Structure 1
Amino acid sequence: MNVEVFKTDVNTRRYANKLLNQIHKTFKQYNANFDLDDCDKILRIQCNEDIIKSGTLISFLQVNGCFAEVLPG
């Protein structure tokens, strides 16, 4: 299983849910969730089938009005 963790600027559960719906429609192989209680407003992406394309996902989020960057492991 591949896992990538992103720092985001998502502040509301409503916005997080909207982004999660869009992520799951666009990247069907990804399982995504937010931890908005974390100071970095974490977005976790898990994928069993493929590598996680961080750059593609970051660009996708930017188009949808969200800042995101990979958190170093």
Structure 2
Amino acid sequence: MMRTARTTVEIFKTDVTDATTADSCILVLSHHFPNTHINFDLEDCDRILRVEGYHINIRKIIDLLAAMEVCCSLYTD
């Protein structure tokens, strides 16, 4: 039987406040995580970053954004 890979969605809180910074973050993350869908919800009070894909490295996302001086943490209810 052939197994189908499942995508996962990771949600992060960030301190991104503007579209220019969000676009820069998406560009960097897309380079490191090709074949993922990445977007921000800047209207949300937690300025949510969503990353959907097959192999998402949470620590790497947090570290890459920290290098861009963006605070980011895994979202928990």
Question: What is the TM-score when the length of structure 1 is the normalising length?
Answer: 0.89
Percent identity, please: 31
- Is residue 2:71 matched to residue 1:67? yes
More off after superposition, 63-72 vs 21-30: 21-30
Runs of 4+ in 1 over 3 A off after TM superposition: none
Larger Cα-atom Rg: 2
Cα drift, residue 22 of structure 1: 1.1
Residues 1-73 of structure 1: matches in 2 within 5 Å? 1-47=7-53, 49-50=54-55, 52-72=56-76
- Listed as ranges, the gaps of 5+ residues in structure 2 are 1-6
How many equivalent residue pairs? 71
Question: What is the TM-score when the length of structure 2 is the normalising length?
Answer: 0.85
- Listed as ranges, the gaps of 5+ residues in structure 1 are none
How much is the aligned-residue C-alpha RMSD, in angstroms?
A: 1.1
